[in-house]
Amino acid sequence: MKTFLTFLLAVFLSFHLSGQDINAIIKEGDRLESALNEKAAFEKFKEVLRLQPVNMYALNKCSELCSRIGKRELADKARNDYYEAAKKYATIALKLHPENSEANCVMAIALGRTSLEKSGKEKINAAKEIKKHVDIAVKYDPQNYKAWHVLGRWHFEICSLNFFEKAAVKVLFGGMPKASLTESIRAFEKARSILPGFVLNYYEMARAYRKNNQKEKAISAINTMLLLASTTEDDEQIKADGRKLLKEWK
């Protein structure tokens, strides 16, 4: 009996220590991400998944980071590999918790990375899937600022389809999805109200305002963005792109 109790105590302590270890690794991953070292952060969150494969926070983080890192890769294969990994991590998370807001959000981001920036049938086919996931993300967490941002981007991209893409949408889906620049701007503004320091949101919001013939608001959004602290590795490039837009608009 004493031996069995000792065994149970050892098992309990091992789980307890493992939990402590996992929390420490997650904290380090968060620190590295804040320090704008996303590849190192990604490695830390992968380490969490090796210890605890069903850790939702790490699954969602790995997906989000793969989408961001992949966009910066110059080689097509490396970029696509990251994007595919982003979808795989999100898929695992969604199998575990289909209604998890962040899991749906990172899946929408991953699908957007692989599809919305392309043209033709692939972009169109992905549109419904992205909208489905982002709607779920917002439904289960109305304060998910990234989900609101993705929703704003979705409306913007649908409104920006060219003539041939719009024709293809009508053939494939029997009509255009309900999208508007007004809804795009509303979603971006919602994201801003939740997290005013989200750099990318200002850039995309400015583009939506400009496309909606609201030039002054577009310029104001860029100017505000340029004063913000950078919180991701992409932010300095986003600010540089914003400066280019200001030159074009003035």
pLDDT tens digits, one per residue of 109-165: 999 998 855 666 777 778 889 999 999 999 999 999 999 999 999 999 989 888 887
83 is a domain residue: no
- Asked if residue 107 is part of any domain, the answer here is no
Contact 169, 175 (CB under 8 A): yes
| 206 within some domain | yes
The string of DSSP codes covering 23-78 is HHHHHHHHHHHHTT-HHHHHHHHHHHHHH-TT-HHHHHHHHHHHHHHHHH--SHHH
Q: What is the tens place of the pLDDT at every residue in 162-176?
A: 888 778 777 766 777
Q: Rounded to a whole number, what is the distance in angstroms from the first to the last CA of the chain?
A: 81
Place of tokens 């583009």: 207
Cα torsion angle, 118, 119, 125, 131, sign = positive
d(CA 123, CA 172): 12
Distances in Å between the Cα of 104 and the Cα atoms of 80, 87, 118 are 20, 11, 21
The verdict on residue 23 lying in a domain is no
* Domain assignment of residue 222, given as a range: 196-250
- Of 154, 162, 163, the closest CA to residue 133 belongs to 154
**112 three-class SS:** helix
Higher pLDDT, 6 or 186: 186
Residue 234 lies in a domain: yes
Residue 103 lies in a domain: no
Residues 6 or more apart whose Cβ sits within 8 Å of residue 51: 18, 21, 22, 25
Count up the domains in the chain and report the number: 1
Model pLDDT for residues 165-219, shown as the tens digit of each residue: 778 777 766 777 788 999 999 999 999 999 999 999 999 999 999 999 999 999 9
69 in a domain, yes or no? no
**Amino acid identity, position 250:** K
pLDDT tens, position by position, 15-57: 454 666 899 999 999 999 999 999 999 999 999 999 999 999 9
pLDDT for position 120:
65
Specify if 218 maps to a domain.
yes
